[in-house]
Amino acid sequence: MDQFRNIGLIGRLGSGRVVDTLKRLKRFLLDSGYTVILEDAVADLFPGHQQQVCSRKMMGEICDLVIVVGGDGSLLGAARALCRYNIPVLGVNRGGLGFLTDIPPDELEHRVGEVLAGQYMVETRFLLDAFVRRGEEQLGTSEALNDVVLHPGKSARMIEFELYVDGQFVYSQKSDGLIVATPTGSTAYSLSAGGPIMHPKLDAVVLVPMFPHTLSSRPIVVDGNSELKIIISNQNGIYPQVSCDGQVHISCAPGDSITIRKKPQKLRLLHPLDHNFYAICRSKLGWSSRLTDQ
């Protein structure tokens, strides 16, 4: 088990509930003898705090653990920045669903205390790298923990594109776009578009068409090590976008290509020992519990 001494705190800005939870967490960690390091954006919420302050990038280099207070979106942003440093990340839920941030605020001290005492499980989640190119020029790149999405942007028109997997032509399609999701992202936008739920341990990627113009177009699950290439048709009259985790956006033009592959570095996500993926699905997605005895 990792020994945690220097603990970084990241929080979603603009939420009073997040600030209150961060204050409780900071006080608990300091009273327990840990060194607390605040992300620079969070430090502005605590005037006179007297704690070390650093950027998110530097936090990855000097912390033993980073705790994210917020929703799944907050953890997505932290994951993209921190995965390359192999630093474990723990999430406290102050958002909506909480598939990734699974520690409830009302159990904050107890649950975080258990993790700091070594009572936790570790999950490794892979991310995707997306590269947008125009000929030989690279227009933009980003990581994604949940998904890489090709979509029309502000336009309401369809996109025509070709899809290749490991260099093999799969199909040409006319639709509102394509969602390329990891198992982590299979319970997010991909699920809303009709994609399957994939267990986080799977080494696979799902390709989910968005409102395709052919009834036979269905989600396809491919090996997680596949290299995907999407070529936007020159016949398109719109300029679509590529969005990574819904937070990073890259503008495209007809003729551009998008290459997507697994990122070499993985996220180390910590959970309490009683973490159960299926229990989370039951809770968050409203699945039925066991049948009662007749």
Q: Which structure tokens are listed for 29?
A: 């960690």
Per annotation, catalytic residue among 72, 102, 245, 256 = 72
Q: How high is the pLDDT of residue 188?
A: 95
Average pLDDT of 113-124? Answer: 95
Q: Is 133 within any annotated ligand binding site?
A: no
In the numeric block, the tokens 């973490």 are attached to: 275
Q: How high is the pLDDT of residue 269?
A: 97
Assess whether 72 carries a catalytic annotation: yes
Q: How high is the pLDDT of residue 15?
A: 80
Confidence of residue 1 (pLDDT cuts 50, 70, 90): low
Residue extents of the structural domains in the chain: 6-120+272-285, 127-264
Q: How far apart are the C-alpha atoms of 233 and 253, rounded to whole Å? A: 9
Percentage with pLDDT > 90 across the chain: 81
Contacts of residue 137, defined as CB under 8 A and 6 or more positions apart, other chains included, come to none
Check whether 260 has a pLDDT greater than 60: yes
State the average pLDDT for the chain: 93
Q: Which structure tokens are listed for 126?
A: 């892979």
Q: Are 104 and 69 in contact (CB under 8 A)?
A: no
Distances in Å between the alpha carbon of 225 and those of 65, 222, 261, 281? 28, 8, 7, 26
Q: Cα 32 vs. chain centroid, distance in angstroms?
A: 30
Question: Over the stretch 71-97, which tens digit does the pLDDT of each residue have?
Answer: 999 999 999 999 999 999 999 998 777
Q: Are 69 and 21 in contact (CB under 8 A)?
A: yes
Confidence of residue 131 (pLDDT cuts 50, 70, 90): very high
Q: Is 155 within any annotated ligand binding site?
A: no
Please state whether beta strands 241-244 and 228-232 pair in parallel, antiparallel, or not at all (unpaired).
unpaired
Q: How high is the pLDDT of residue 24?
A: 94
| CATH class of the domain comprising 6-120+272-285 | alpha beta
Average pLDDT of 105-125? Answer: 95
Question: Over the stretch 162-174, which tens digit does the pLDDT of each residue have?
Answer: 999 999 999 999 9
Q: How high is the pLDDT of residue 294?
A: 47
Q: Is 243 within any annotated ligand binding site?
A: no
Q: Cα 206 vs. chain centroid, distance in angstroms?
A: 15
Q: Cite the beta strand spans of 71-217 per DSSP E.
A: 88-93, 120-134, 137-144, 147-151, 159-165, 168-175, 177-181, 204-210
Q: Which structure tokens are listed for 280?
A: 């989370």
Q: Is 62 left (phi over 0), alpha (psi -120 to 50) or beta?
A: alpha
Q: Is 223 within any annotated ligand binding site?
A: no
Q: Which CATH superfamily is domain 127-264 in?
A: Probable inorganic polyphosphate/atp-NAD kinase; domain 2 (2.60.200.30)
Q: How high is the pLDDT of residue 44?
A: 84
Q: Is 176 within any annotated ligand binding site?
A: yes
Q: Is 80 within any annotated ligand binding site?
A: no
pTM (whole model) above 0.95: no
Q: Is 79 within any annotated ligand binding site?
A: no
Question: Over the stretch 136-166, which tens digit does the pLDDT of each residue have?
Answer: 999 999 999 999 999 999 888 899 999 999 9
Check whether 293 has a pLDDT greater than 70: no
Confidence of residue 207 (pLDDT cuts 50, 70, 90): very high
